[in-house]
Amino acid sequence: MPRRRPASAHHDSDMYAIFRKAKPGEDQQAWTVNLSRGGRSFQMTFSDATYGSEAASLFVARACRDAVLEVVPPLTHHDMRMLKRRTKRGQPGDHPHSDVTGVHYARATRNRPGRWIARIEIKDATRPTGRRTITRSFSEAELGNDAAREAAEAARLQMVLAVEHGDDPALRSPAAKRLHKRLVRNPGASEDGGGR
């Protein structure tokens, strides 16, 4: 089912996570709220027929979206870095894995033994990309597989705790950031259906 979004919606926090749902040639017209927060997905549809008009269904969609965002705030960068990964357990012979985000296993090569690596990416204004990666590796040959994995997991935890600004919301979209700031400044204030 195709979704239509206003041309300005990419930068418009009023339309963040709200899409127009319409099938050509059919009477069903609706607004859909589709977002993820705290590891949960929220999808709700607000039909023009149910609410009486396109403007009314958009008003309710915005109010519902804002209510969800107030009740379920975005995860902080610290929370994101501490999330346990949901990985599929491999088959026998698959490479080992860690449930800790930012820790992975590098297989042995001809020149290097297998190792566990702790990795974190941080902001760095001095770099062209604006980001810098910090890694620490722990040799399986020196420590043994389990001890090397545990050392990498502990190093990852130390990295996360050392990173500043861990309480900032982990939002990428400029529209999501603007909407979050507006909702934090004015809790309980939902959209009036108009512009900004």
pLDDT per 10-residue tile (average), the chain, 196 residues = 44 81 77 82 88 91 87 72 56 64 87 90 80 87 90 85 62 72 64 44
Per-residue pLDDT at 59: 92
Per-residue pLDDT at 164: 57
Torsion angle defined by CA atoms of residues 53, 58, 61 and 66, in that order, rounded to the nearest 10 degrees: -150
Per-residue pLDDT at 169: 61
The answer to whether 170 touches 39, Cβ cutoff 8 Å, is no
| CA separation for the pair 10, 40 (Å, rounded) | 23
**Amino acid at residue number 135:** T
